[in-house]
Amino acid sequence: MSRAHALRILVKTREEAEALKQEIAAGKKFGDLVRKHSLCPSGKKGGDLGEFRRGQMVPAFDKVVFGKPTIDVHGPVKTKFGWHLIKTLSRG
């Protein structure tokens, strides 16, 4: 079964997510922005969700983690929890 290790920033609005993605593109560190802005408890760990299997996360999240290139920042992705920026570190 497929496994992945990912980081995420979770915010309330698409606009916040878009602004953070632009900051990352401009050179800001993902981990710094996570600690400052993410609503997820994982924010204290730099957004680290650890390793998880396909199907453990909501479908929209899984689709990005298991279908998009690793290391790039993807999103904003909307789920019932809010808007995510997702960085998949590894997959296997």
> Average pLDDT of 17-40?
96
> Average pLDDT of 2-10?
96
CATH class of domain segment(s) 3-91: alpha beta
Give pLDDT, residue 1.
Answer: 64
Q: Residues 6 or more apart from 68 whose CB is under 8 A from it? A: 74, 86, 88
pTM of the model: 0.94
Q: Residues 6 or more apart from 44 whose CB is under 8 A from it? A: 35
Q: Does residue 26 have a pLDDT over 70?
A: yes
Distance CA 55, CA 8 (A): 17
Q: Does residue 67 have a pLDDT over 70?
A: yes
> Average pLDDT of 42-65?
94
